[in-house]
Structure 1
Amino acid sequence: MQVEIITIGDELLIGQVVDTNSAWMARELNKAGMFINRITSVSDGEEEILNAIREAASRSTIVLLTGGLGPTRDDITKAALCKYFKTQLVFNQQIMDDVETFLKHRVGHINQLNKDQALVPEKCDIIRNPVGTAPIMWFEESGLIVVSMPGVPTEMKHAMENEVIPRLKAKFTNGIVRHRTVHIFNIPEAVLAEMLSDWEDQIPAFLKVAYLPSPGKLRLRISGKGENAQQIESAIENAIKLLYPLVKENIFGFDDEKPESSLLNLLFSKDKTISCAESCSGGLMSHLITSVAGASNAFMGGVVAYSNNLKYNLLGVDSTSIEKYGAVSREVVEQMAKGACKRLGSDYAIASSGIAGPSGGTDEKPVGTVWLAWSDGEKVISRSFNFGNNRERNILRTAEAGIIIMKQLLERGTL
């Protein structure tokens, strides 16, 4: 069984709207044991939609469409489907009743465009949409299933979770699909692949390994498919056990776990608090931590000490250290971390100072040079990095590295 997804809308192709629908659909279908063969985005043109359906139907069993079902002139998915399935639009009273019920307290009157939502292709099964006005249309012909859903994410998700996926699971016998993702910090993709070459040879052939890199970190996804869930899960867990000795020091999480969440959970378990003293990361480290619900139970606060005066006055950094070593230095960032513990009253602190770019670098300290420090108020550990010459990436990598290494230090009992 092969599944294809087609997302429809000019807004997707000009970058006005990011296509989150296909990513969510692919993830949920994969959980149900279905594999996505291809994802295509097309414009609001009848021929473009028709061609996309024809091509998908030539290689897939199931084609799922989102978008182009609204009441305006540019919503022409229904017309394209009528052409493909050689049928016509007919009035459906049940859908009209649903539209009237849905809009009753939302609009002053129901106009002709709203009424046209009740026109649906004659050769399809209609699935009612309790969270919108456009119905879901299920076509089935010569072994091909085509399902058309609204592009509004809440409507699409409701249809997929409550109707489409349950119907597909009832109709097809799917295999078992399982994934585990290991998050690895600060090992380049090519280096990691070389390190894990023998490990990949050791694991069962029915497991597939994918390397998914991003700046400063990498997701190593281990996937298995088959008929026996216990066998697949056991094989994946055994593969992770074999992986641990090779990269244990660089593993910072699993699956959907975020570094800031796992750091806070660790602090909660120890009944400890943390604060941040940030220069080049500009408050992003504090933002990531406070984006987690319940962060106030461990996060005391943060200081964005961008200027040297604030480093002196808020964090107690010795002015002679900046004059002698510069603001981007081991000596200054260590004082910032200690100062944050003292001034903000936290058990631990993370501090950052660097040259985010694109200007400001020197031969000794090029753009991308960053110092990070972690302290418990007395002891302090610091490390230098060079994150390259992209300002936005430098800021993100600084914030994430500060959080990830803080978690590792606490886990090892180094602080």
Structure 2
Amino acid sequence: MTAEIITIGDEILIGQIVDTNSAFIATELNKIGISVFQITSIQDEKTHILKALEEASERAEIILLTGGLGPTKDDITKYTFCEYFDDQLQLNEEVLAHIEELFAKYKTTPISDLNREQAMVPSKARVLHNRYGTAPGMWIEKEGKVFISMPGVPYEMKGLMEYEVIPGLQKKFHRPFIYHKTILTRGLGESAIANRLVGWEEKLPKHLKFAYLPNFGSVRLRISGKGNNEEQLISDVENQAEELYEILGDIISEEQEEDEKIAVEINKLLTSDNKFLAVAESCTGGALAAEFTTHPGASKCFKGGMVCYATQTKIDLLQVNKELIEKHSVVSAEVAEAMAKNARKLFKSDYALSTTGNAGPTKGDSDAEVGTVYIGLATPEKVYSQKFFLGNHRDQVVKKAVYKAYEMILREITA
């Protein structure tokens, strides 16, 4: 069972937005045993859409589109659907009522004819209720193939996938089982791990696949399988995983869900122990706090944070001793430790992380080389810091610093 995803919109092709819809859709399809054969991004232009639909129908049983369903004239997907399926638009009263209800409840501007026109849908389409927006999804079948069109707005698309598309596909198709096992390793790079797994990979059964998913400071190893016998498939994957543990036991951290991040791991551990974290950031500029609070449940274990970017702010608000900065430099182990210690006290938390460094591209209030970062950690028992050299690319320095900081506290709370 294969699917193809088509994203429609010039804004994707010119780099104005990043296509996150395809990743989400592919993940959700994979969970129910549907493999994605291809992902394509195309212009919001009729002949291009028609060609993409025709080509996709030759490769896949399920074709999912996002984009081009808005109220403006440049949104032409449903009109193109009519041409492709030899159909015409008709008013759907339920959709119209939903649009009018949304405007009455949530909009301050009056409803327009353009908005009402979104209730016009191809007569052959089964309407998919969009509880979060005015543009309905559409499900049309042709010659045994399913064509599904959804808005490009991510939260609207996700709602349609959860409540309409996935249940509909599960009901219609008999699907194979797909099973993944993801193991997290730390402390060794991708190539070094591959060298240790040469013999194991050569003997891997043909119906299983193996992938390396590297990130800052860690590599996820994923074993995947697909088949009709669920029990046998799970057994095959688990047997291979046991061999991985024998080979890589010294660097395996844990088994991990596909989309779980290190901040989520820390969140779970702190919450289970009823402990709290705070942060004091300089060179990371709030990225530590942002990464942590992106994930649900952060309020259960995160007290807060301070971005004390300027040297004077470290002195005035975080109460880092001015003489300490003058003696050791603002980018130093001593300042990082003082920042962490004072943040822990200020926020009344169990743990506190701090970052101070030079992310570049030029030197700031310190003579430290670009890429130099000190990360401090204050715990109930001690305060310490580590020095890192994280390269000369500003964005990567910040991302690496965030990961290194979380790696430090994860080691501390799992020791």
TM-score by length of 2: 0.82
- Matched to 1:174, the amino acid is R
Shift of the 321–204 alpha-carbon distance from structure 1 to 2, 3 Å rule, reads farther
Task: Confirm whether residue 261 of structure 1 aligns to residue 261 of structure 2.
Answer: no
CA distance in 2, matches of 1:346, 1:268: 13
Q: Is the 8 A contact 2:66 2:157 kept in 1?
A: yes
Report SS of the residue matched to 1:47.
helix
Give the superposition deviation at 1:321: 5.2
- The percentage of counterpart residues that share the same residue type is 42
Counterpart amino acid of 1:106?
A: F
* CA–CA separation in structure 1 for the residues paired with 2:375 and 2:157: 44
Matching of residues 5-20 of structure 1 within 5 Å: 5-20=5-20
Alpha-carbon distance, 1:400 to partner: 2.2
Contact map agreement 1:71 1:117 (CA 8 A) in 2: no
Relative to 1, partners in 2 of residues 1:194 and 1:328: Cα closer, same or farther, differing over 3 Å? farther
Query: What is the CA–CA distance in structure 2 between the aligned matches of 1:309 and 1:71, rounded to whole Å?
Result: 51
CA distance in 2, matches of 1:155, 1:344: 38
Distance 1:382 1:310 in 2: 21
Q: Hey, what does 2:88 align to over in structure 1?
A: 89
Counterpart position of 1:99 = 96
Comparing 131-140 with 396-405, greater Cα deviation is found at 131-140
| RMSD, aligned CA | 3.5
Distance 1:105 1:343 in 2: 44
Which is further off, 293-302 or 31-40?
293-302
How far is the alpha carbon of 1:38 from its aligned partner?
0.6
The 1:224–1:361 alpha-carbon spacing in structure 2 relative to 1, beyond 3 Å, is farther
Is the Cα contact below 8 Å between 1:353 and 1:370 reproduced in 2? yes
Show structure 2 runs of 5+ residues with no match: 105-109
SS in 2 for 1:58: helix
Partner of 1:34: 34
* Runs of 5+ consecutive residues of structure 1 not aligned to the other structure: none
2:283 corresponding residue in structure 1 = 280
1:326 maps to a residue whose letter is S
- Distance of 2:181 and 2:324 partners within structure 1: 47
Match in the other structure for 1:375: 378
Q: Kindly tell me: are residues 310 and 75 of structure 1, through their superposed partners in 2, closer, same or farther at Cα, counting changes over 3 Å? A: closer
Per-residue CA deviations over 1:234-266 (Å, capped at 9, x if unaligned) read 444444444446265463772233322322332
CA contact (8 A) 2:99 2:115 kept: no
Counterpart residue number, 1:179: 180
Q: 1:73 to 1:211 in 2, by over 3 A?
A: same
The 2-side partners of 1:406 and 1:64 are apart by: 42
Partner residue in 2 for 1:50: 50
- 1:56 deviates by 1.1
Q: Which amino acid aligns with 1:350?
A: L
Q: Distance in 1 between matches of 2:144 and 2:87?
A: 21
For residues 32-62 of structure 1, give each alpha carbon's deviation from its aligned partner in whole angstroms, at most 9, with x where no partner exists: 1001111111111111111111211222222
Q: Which residue pairs with 2:148 in the alignment? A: 147
Whole-angstrom distance in 1 between the partners of 2:363 and 2:112 = 61
Q: Greater shift after overlay, 299-308 or 396-405?
A: 299-308
In 2, the alpha carbon distance for the partners of 1:155 and 1:327 equals: 46
The residue number in structure 2 matching 1:232 is 233
Query: Are the structure 2 counterparts of residues 341 and 78 from structure 1 closer, same or farther at C-alpha, using a change threshold of 3 Å?
Result: closer
Larger radius of gyration: 1
- State the Cα distance separating 1:391 from its structure 2 match: 1.5
Deviation, 1:357, is 0.8
1:183-262 correspondence to structure 2 within 5 Å: 183-185=184-186, 187-201=188-202, 203-244=204-245, 246=248, 248-249=250-251, 251=253, 254-255=256-257, 256-262=259-265
How far, CA to CA, are the matches of 1:104 and 1:271 in structure 2? 43
Q: CA deviation at 1:325?
A: 4.1
Checking the alignment, whether the CA contact within 8 Å between 2:351 and 2:377 is kept in structure 1 is yes
Map 1:335-374; keep pairs closer than 5 Å.
Answer: 335-342=338-345, 344-360=347-363, 365-374=368-377
Q: Judge which range, 311-320 or 226-235, deviates more.
A: 311-320
